[in-house]
C-alpha cells in the first residue's frame, strides 16, 4: 500500500485470514480464508447464523484474538505479529467499542466515562478534542446528564454515552456488538440513526454485529458469514429481504 492509498484507504483490511481453535486432530474453523475491506465512512453490518464466526471476525480485527494465518491491517498498521502491548496501544487509538451491555464503569459519571479512553492513554483531550466531545454530547442530548452515574441513566442514554466515548477519539473504526440488543424499539432506532449519522456526517467507519434484520437495514452494507466464510455482501436490502436471506442461509445449512 502506498501513502496515498493509506490516507483514503480502508479502515481495516483482512487478507486470507483464518482462525482455527482446538487441537489439530479436531479443529474448529471459526474463520476460513476471509479477505475483506471495512471502509471508512461506511456503516457495515456483519450477520450470519450462530457460530458462523462473527465474534471471531471482530476479535481478530481488533487484535483481541490472534489469526492463525493471514494478514490484517488496522488503518495503516499490520497487526499480525505485534506483541500484546503494541496491540493494546494500537486498539486504544484506533478502535472504539460499543457493546450490548454498554460497558460503562458504574462508579464513574457519564462525563468521566466519556473521558476514560483519554485518561487510559495518559493525556487530557486537547482543545479540538474538547470541542468535539462537547459537540457530540450536545447533539446527543446528554449535556444535562454528564454528572449522572450510569445507574441514573436510561438504557438509551447509557448507550449514547458509550457511543460518545467510542466516537470521542475519532478512531479508525468503531466495532459494535449487538449495540441495540438491550434497547426498546424506539431507543434502538435512535441509536441506529446515530450510528448512520456518525458514518455519513463524521466519516466514521463502523462494523456492527447483529442478528436483527431491522438493525442491519440501517447499515450501508451487509456482510454475511456462514461457517467461517463470507458468503455474501449486500446493499439496499429492507428488513424483510434481510430476514429471507438469513432464513434461506439457515435452510441451506440444515
Ligand X SMILES: Nc1ncnc2c1ncn2[C@@H]1O[C@H](COP(=O)(O)OP(=O)(O)OP(=O)(O)O)[C@@H](O)[C@H]1O
Give the burial string for 179-215 (b: 16+ CB within 10 Å, else e): bbebbeeebbbebbebbeebbeeeebbbbbbbebbbb
**Binding region for ligand X (CB under 6 A) out of 49-57, 98-106, 118-126, 186-194:** 49-57
The residue assigned the cell 488496522 is: 74
DSSP summary character for residue 116: H
Q: Which residue in 2, 8, 50, 85 binds ligand X (CB under 6 A)?
A: 50
CB of 225 to ligand X, least distance (A): 6
CB of 215 to ligand X, least distance (A): 14
Count of Cβ atoms closer than 10 Å to residue 137 Cβ: 21
**DSSP character string of 69-85:** EEEEEETTEE-TT--HH
Question: By the 8 A CB rule, do 219 and 46 touch?
Answer: no
Mark 3-42 with x for binding to ligand X (rule: CB under 6 A) and - for no binding: ------------------xx-----x-x------------
Q: Which residue in 51, 155, 181, 239 binds ligand X (CB under 6 A)?
A: 51
Q: Between 15 and 229, whose beta carbon lies closer to ligand X?
A: 229
CB of 13 to ligand X, least distance (A): 20
Q: Which residue in 52, 94, 157, 188 binds ligand X (CB under 6 A)?
A: 52
**Binding region for ligand X (CB under 6 A) out of 54-62, 72-80, 130-138, 236-244:** 54-62
**DSSP character string of 206-234:** EEEE-S-HHHHHTSSEEEEEETTEEEEEE
Query: If we measure between CA atoms, which residue out of 87, 174, 30, 36 comes closest to residue 78?
Result: 87
* Measured distance CA(108)–CA(123) in Å, rounded: 18
CB of 5 to ligand X, least distance (A): 30
Query: If we measure between CA atoms, which residue out of 1, 10, 15 comes closest to residue 173?
Result: 10
Q: Between 28 and 119, whose beta carbon lies closer to ligand X?
A: 28
Q: Between 103 and 130, whose beta carbon lies closer to ligand X?
A: 103
* 55 interacts with ligand X by CB under 6 A: yes
CB of 237 to ligand X, least distance (A): 19
Question: By the 8 A CB rule, do 118 and 124 touch?
Answer: yes
Residues that bind ligand X (CB under 6 A): 21-22, 28, 30, 48, 50-56
Amino acid at each position: 500500500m502506498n501513502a496515498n492509498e493509506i490516507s483514503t484507504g480502508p479502515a481495516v483490511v483482512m487478507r486470507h485470514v483464518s482462525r482455527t481453535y482446538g487441537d489439530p486432530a479436531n479443529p474448529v474453523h471459526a474463520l476460513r480464508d476471509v479477505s475483506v475491506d471495512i471502509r471508512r465512512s461506511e456503516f457495515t453490518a456483519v450477520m450470519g447464523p450462530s457460530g458462523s464466526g462473527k465474534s471471531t471476525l471482530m476479535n481478530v480485527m481488533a487484535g483481541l484474538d490472534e489469526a492463525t494465518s493471514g494478514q490484517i491491517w488496522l488503518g495503516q498498521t499490520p497487526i499480525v505479529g505485534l506483541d500484546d502491548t503494541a496491540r493494546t496501544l494500537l486498539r486504544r487509538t484506533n478502535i472504539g467499542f460499543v457493546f450490548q451491555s454498554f460497558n460503562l464503569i458504574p462508579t464513574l459519571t457519564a462525563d468521566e466515562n466519556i473521558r476514560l479512553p483519554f485518561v487510559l492513554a495518559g493525556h487530557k483531550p486537547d482543545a479540538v478534542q474538547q470541542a468535539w466531545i462537547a459537540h457530540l454530547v450536545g447533539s446527543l442530548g446528554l449535556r444535562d446528564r454528564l454528572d449522572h452515574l450510569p445507574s441514573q441513566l436510561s438504557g438509551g442514554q447509557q448507550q449514547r454515552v458509550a457511543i460518545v466515548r467510542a466516537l470521542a477519539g475519532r478512531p479508525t473504526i468503531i466495532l459494535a456488538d449487538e449495540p441495540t440488543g438491550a434497547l426498546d424499539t424506539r431507543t434502538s432506532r435512535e441509536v441506529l440513526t446515530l450510528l448512520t449519522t456518525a458514518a455519513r456526517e463524521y466519516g466514521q467507519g463502523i462494523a456492527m454485529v447483529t442478528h436483527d434484520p431491522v438493525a442491519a437495514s440501517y447499515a450501508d452494507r451487509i456482510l454475511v458469514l456462514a461457517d467461517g466464510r463470507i458468503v455474501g455482501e449486500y446493499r439496499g436490502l429492507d428488513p424483510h429481504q434481510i430476514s429471507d436471506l438469513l432464513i434461506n442461509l439457515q435452510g441451506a445449512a440444515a
